[in-house]
Structure 1
Amino acid sequence: MHNYFTFKEIQEQPELLKKVLNKEKEIKKILPLTDRERVAFIGCGSSYYLPMAVAYHVRRKMNIPAYAFTGFGTFRYPNTRFEKNKDYFIIAISRSGESSETVSALESLKDKTHFKTASVTCEAGSTITKLSDTSLILEFVNEKSIVMTQSTTSMILSLQIAMEDKGLEVIPELLKEVFDNASDSFDILNLNAFEHFIYLGYDEYLGIANEGALKIREMALSNSETYETLEYRHGPKSLATKGSLIFFLPSSESFKEE
């Protein structure tokens, strides 16, 4: 297992996140989120689910209307996503900077008066950097695995820095502690006993839940689902069996109800 790219890249995250934290001034300059009328994130796959979580957080923390849109949805259906004659700060997210739908979305928004664009990527010189007014490039993230891990966490931390979240400096050490204790948790869970995985959460945690379920599908080729927590009671729970493992991602605000 230790010879796999994905495992190695997961283990490298604490050190990479320290590098992200060291880019604080640059991040805040490139991604100024304060005083924005509206923010819209654009991405595909993991690069859509991570801004889904961030958009909820922007609304909650900064009281700014914020949205997460898929690349193709933005390109093909802009009228159902953007209000006419309103200003938007667009942040396109793509590990490679070449995701075709995200590229198409940026091309469709280019030179429009009410849109300022920025991109977040791991690849300098990629297409989305050329289409954006400004770009944050996490050049030290160089994944060989198809599955996004350290790129996802590095980009979401960058966006948290842009939002001026507090206490972020402890994340690398906390993550290292999680890794140090992971083997014990895996032994207790006995994940091989399950064939069906459900992730539940609200708002920021719904975005993370979607990403968790995607990782199960991509890496374990297993059936996984995502719902807002209490929505799982209304029909989907009928598919639960002894082979189902349910992950709750509760927030402090709704922990009791969830």
Structure 2
Amino acid sequence: MAVSRASRTASELSAQPACWRRAAEAAPSVEGLPRPGERVAVTGCGTSWYMAQAYAALREAAGEGDTDAFPASEFPARRRPYDRVVAITRSGTTTEVLGLLAALGTSTPRLAVTASPGTPVTRAAEAVAVLDWADEESVVQTRFATTALALLRAALPGGAAAVAAAADAAEAALAEALPAELLEAEQWTFLGRGWGYAVAREAALKLREAAGAWTEAYPSMEYRHGPVAIAGPRRVVWSFGVAPNGLSSTVAGTGATFVEGRAPLTELVRAQRLAVALAERRGCDPDHPRGLTRSVILAP
């Protein structure tokens, strides 16, 4: 019996806990990781950019040094040089990432995290972490991106233990049934604080990519400054982590469903599963969404 594209996507996202544990084991041997006190920039495109944002927030919160995250196309070239730049690219061929690394030159230490050995990015950075065992067939990213984050996070103080705990929690989330109100909604808004905001943005992207769904994402404290206006029946407001005081009652008053989630990556796994389920319901192909390709390669 042929394996459906949707089931391949589901298989890839279900493999995340094992991939995260392997990344944590590999982290001590990876060369080129940011050092304590360095001023670091992390970059990528799409999902990789959101993982860059999450890592930047985690690194600063750990007291390891100033850490900024930028989409590769918007990197501030005129800013004073960073001590190190980390680029995340699954395909290793993304035009904007390659252009940025070339523009930085050899004076800036550069680490590339990729799933694809032998691709141009492996020649554009002097340090490379190849996570080919976390690569995917699907266009929509799940396990590579979160595994890249796990690798970087594991190198932070207490990071290995945090990755192990996240893997355990994700396994539990994979075994749970998705609530009917999530599946039957017409609109989903994801909220988060700190690094959870970046993961919330990734969750929203997954539903848009895989199922063409109407999704939005905001910092938790910003939600009542306007976006709450769209809350209502058959709409979901999903907090990645503990929500601000009073937010749940505000949302309930609109008739929307409020979900106060657990740790950000646990909730991301649930959102990924929801994205696949919605795609199947809508007759979409989550492996090859409309208008998307595995890598964005632009003509010169």
Q: TM-score, normalised by structure 1?
A: 0.87
Q: Which moved further from structure 2: 202-211 or 159-168?
A: 159-168
CA deviation after TM superposition for structure 1 residue 166, in Å: 4.4
For residues 35-114 of structure 1, the aligned pairs below 5 Å read 35-36=37-38, 38-74=39-75, 77-79=76-78, 82-83=79-80, 86-111=81-106, 113=107
For residues 231-250 of structure 1, the aligned pairs below 5 Å read 231-250=222-241
Please tell me whether the aligned partners of residues 196 and 224 of structure 1 are also in contact (alpha carbons under 8 angstroms).
yes
Please tell me whether the aligned partners of residues 18 and 172 of structure 1 are also in contact (alpha carbons under 8 angstroms).
yes
Q: Distance in 1 between matches of 2:230 and 2:121?
A: 41
Please tell me whether the aligned partners of residues 196 and 241 of structure 2 are also in contact (alpha carbons under 8 angstroms).
yes
Q: Distance in 1 between matches of 2:11 and 2:198?
A: 24
Q: Does 1:136 align with 2:137?
A: no
CA deviation after TM superposition for structure 1 residue 150, in Å: 0.6
Q: What CA deviation, in whole Å up to 9, does each residue of 1:2-22 have, x standing for no partner?
A: 842210101122222232222
In structure 2, do the counterparts of structure 1 residues 250 and 22 end up closer, same or farther at CA, with 3 Å as the change threshold? closer
Q: What CA deviation, in whole Å up to 9, does each residue of 1:80-130 have, x standing for no partner?
A: xx22xx44210000011111111111111123x3x2111001111111111
In structure 2, do the counterparts of structure 1 residues 18 and 166 end up closer, same or farther at CA, with 3 Å as the change threshold? closer
Q: Which residue of 2 aligns with 1:207?
A: 198
1:193 is aligned, of 184, 192, 197, to 184
Q: Which residue of 1 aligns with 2:213?
A: 222
Structure 1 runs not aligned, ≥5 long: none
RMSD of Structure 2 on Structure 1 (CA): 1.9
SS state of the match for residue 140, structure 1? helix
In structure 2, do the counterparts of structure 1 residues 232 and 256 end up closer, same or farther at CA, with 3 Å as the change threshold? closer
CA deviation after TM superposition for structure 1 residue 256, in Å: 3.8
Q: Distance in 2 between matches of 1:257 and 1:103?
A: 45
Please tell me whether the aligned partners of residues 42 and 87 of structure 2 are also in contact (alpha carbons under 8 angstroms).
yes
What letter corresponds to residue 45 of structure 1 in structure 2? Answer: G
Q: Which residue of 2 aligns with 1:23?
A: 26
Please tell me whether the aligned partners of residues 34 and 40 of structure 2 are also in contact (alpha carbons under 8 angstroms).
no
Q: TM-score, normalised by structure 2?
A: 0.75
Structure 2 runs not aligned, ≥5 long: 248-300
Q: What CA deviation, in whole Å up to 9, does each residue of 1:161-216 have, x standing for no partner?
A: 122314133433332222112x2xx1x34333211110111221110111011011
2:9 is aligned, of 6, 10, 27, to 6
Q: Distance in 1 between matches of 2:183 and 2:173?
A: 20
Q: Distance in 1 between matches of 2:220 and 2:25?
A: 36
SS state of the match for residue 28, structure 2? helix
Please tell me whether the aligned partners of residues 33 and 163 of structure 1 are also in contact (alpha carbons under 8 angstroms).
no
What letter corresponds to residue 138 of structure 2 in structure 1? Answer: S
Q: Which residue of 1 aligns with 2:147?
A: 154
Q: Distance in 2 between matches of 1:225 and 1:101?
A: 25
Paired residues, number: 241
What letter corresponds to residue 16 of structure 1 in structure 2? Answer: C
Q: Which residue of 2 aligns with 1:177?
A: 172
Please tell me whether the aligned partners of residues 119 and 132 of structure 1 are also in contact (alpha carbons under 8 angstroms).
yes
